Amino acid sequence: MLDDKATDDVKSLKEKLVDALSQIRLKEDSVKQHAKVAEEAVSGWEKAENEVLAMRQQLGAVTQKNSALEDRMAHLDCALKECVRQLRQAKEEQDQMINDAVCKKTQEWESLKSEFQSEVDYHSIQHKNAKAEVAAFMERVPDLQSNLDALFTENLNLKLELLSLTEEMKIRISERDYCIQAAETASKQHLESSKKLAKLEAECLRLRSLARKAALFNDNRSATASSIFVESITDNQSDCGDKVILLEADLCKMGILEPKETEPGCYDSTSHAFVPEIGKYENEKAHRQNLVDTHVEIDLMDDFLEMERMVSVPDPESEIAFVPVKSLAAQPNPLEVTLKAELQCMINRAAEQEEKLEHVEALYTEVNNALSECQKKLQTSQTKLNKTEEKLEDVKTLNAEVNCALVECQKQLEISQTKSKEYEEKLVELKMQLALTNESRQAAEELAKAASAQKKVAEARLVNVEAEKESLLVTVRFLEGEIEKERSLSAEKLVRCQILEEELSRTKTEVESKEKALLAEYLVKCGNLEDELLKTKTELNQATSKMAAREFKVDQEKELEIAAQQFAECQKTIASLGRQLRSLASLEDFILDSEKSLQTSDDLSHRPEQGTDLSNLHSNKLRMPENDSELSIFQRPIIQVLYELEEAAMLHCQAT
């Protein structure tokens, strides 16, 4: 019995052991499962801690971002105020410059117009007068031409006559030279004959003395002596006659005795070169030769008179003894008579030649006077023609200048029109670019909305994960005994996490309040800016209406250049603001990335233990996208202000 009881006990114990072992195995399996679940919960908790750290980093980044945005908003506010002030100042300066330029250009245009009108009237009157003068002169041109032809022919005839007279004068001068040479030879011969007569007189005196001595001799000897003396005289006279005959022969050979046969009958009519200096020189030479000839002729006449006087003077002692000699001396010499006659003829001919020369000189002076008068008339007519031609050329040049000025004005107007069209096209392109930027902005907003939707999906997933975590926490409670050690270690961490969560909640509330206040302020500022922009738009519309009423096409080019410069300055300011916004966006992205890295590092060191902490983390994580959306809403009015500034600048350019 005992053995049976023992065996039964053993069996029951074995069964109990088997059951205990099975239960232990089941418990071990459940423990393993719970350990796995705990490990999964710990890993999820670590993930949640990492997310909490990321959220903390995001919160720090948001705080930094908010401070940076506050500073940036202050700078932007100052910049916007400065831009508005500069826009107003530029607008006032531009209006003043436009008014001054318009007044100045109107005055200049009116003065130029009046000057051009007066010049055109003056030149039209001059043109009419010049036309009348030219017509009158053209009517007189045939008469003047006929007069010129007649004067030219008369001048040619007079030149020919002068040439013929000069030739004749040359011939006469040559004849006179030959006559002078003949007279010189005759005077030489006369001197020789006078010397011979002196010798004869000496012989006569000697013979007289001999006759006186031989007075006592007979008459026969005296008669023979006188006959010998007469023979010697006749011999001397015959010698003189032979010499005179030889002279006449030489003169006949030279053509002096018959000057009429040697006179030229015709002259060269083809010679047209006439030099007045040569004529003057010939006249002076002829005058000098006339003086020399007259002087030589007077000397010859004196010599002849002396010879006659010497011959005619009788010797009182020999009157009785030399009666035949006196009779011979008293007889007239035919050669002397012929020479005297020829000399008288030559003198008469020289006087006639002088009269002819004087007549020719008078004709020459008359012809020269007529030619000078004709030349003066021609010069005056030529000067008048030149003046009229110059006046016509001046009028033509002025007309050409006026036409060129008009063409240049038309070209400038066309250029200004083309430039205005180009500016309009540029404005259209800028509008298209603005539309594209608006579309890109809308696309970015849509992307932001999509990102917010993705965030919401992630939040929903987080909610599901939290639900799973709560279910796992139920299992974790069974394992609290096993993780008491870990709780003791994590108690401090939980306290620190709570402190950090409180600080996060405080900072979130402060940031939200500050963001709301800043949003309210910037919305008010944006409203003010919109009002100012509306005012500027209305003022610009008024300026455009005023400028459209004025329509000064001449100053469009300069005004467009000024407007383009101002538009470029506005674009520069807008581009600088856009760069600042982009830099802020890049700073925000950088801050977010840095906060995420910090959160991951903090989550590894902190682990929450209770479900309340996870719910707080979930609520905080749910609020971060709202902050991101609030930041995008905060940036929108600034972008709208920038776009409105661009539109205002474009309207200003269109108005100018």
Task: Tell me, yes or no, whether 23 lies in a domain.
Answer: yes
Domain count, the chain: 2
Is 231 found in the same domain as 360?
yes
Q: Look at residues 334, 358, 389 and tell me which one is the last residue of a structural domain.
A: 389
Is 320 found in the same domain as 190?
yes
Please name the amino acid found at residue 67.
S
> Which residues form the domain of 17?
1-31
Cβ(386)–Cβ(522) below 8 Å: no
Query: Is the full-model pTM beyond 0.75?
Result: no
Q: Look at residues 389, 421, 455 and tell me which one is the last residue of a structural domain.
A: 389
Task: Tell me, yes or no, whether 413 lies in a domain.
Answer: no
DSSP per-residue string spanning 407-474: HHHHHHHHHHHHHHHHHHHHHHHHHHHHHHHHHHHHHHHHHHHHHHHHHHHHHHHHHHHHHHHHHHHH
- Which residues contact residue 184 at a Cβ distance below 8 angstroms, ignoring those fewer than 6 apart? 296
Chain segment 574-607, per-residue pLDDT in tens: 666 666 666 655 555 555 555 555 455 455 444 4
Chain segment 415-449, per-residue pLDDT in tens: 767 776 776 787 777 777 777 766 766 776 777 67
Is 319 found in the same domain as 172?
yes
Torsion 232-237-243-249 (CA) sign: negative
Task: Tell me, yes or no, whether 345 lies in a domain.
Answer: yes
Task: Tell me, yes or no, whether 39 lies in a domain.
Answer: no
Task: Tell me, yes or no, whether 9 lies in a domain.
Answer: yes
- By mean pLDDT, which of 266-275, 521-530, 565-574 is the weakest? 266-275
Is 153 found in the same domain as 16?
no
Is 353 found in the same domain as 222?
yes
Task: Tell me, yes or no, whether 379 lies in a domain.
Answer: yes
**pLDDT value of position 111:** 81
- Which residues contact residue 303 at a Cβ distance below 8 angstroms, ignoring those fewer than 6 apart? 187, 190, 191, 194
**pLDDT value of position 614:** 36
What rounded mean pLDDT belongs to the chain? Answer: 66
Please name the amino acid found at residue 215.
A
Locate 428 and state its tokens.
């259209």
Q: Look at residues 359, 389, 419 and tell me which one is the last residue of a structural domain.
A: 389
Task: Tell me, yes or no, whether 281 lies in a domain.
Answer: yes
Task: Tell me, yes or no, whether 560 lies in a domain.
Answer: no
Is 329 found in the same domain as 185?
yes
- By mean pLDDT, which of 37-51, 185-199, 433-447 is the weakest? 433-447
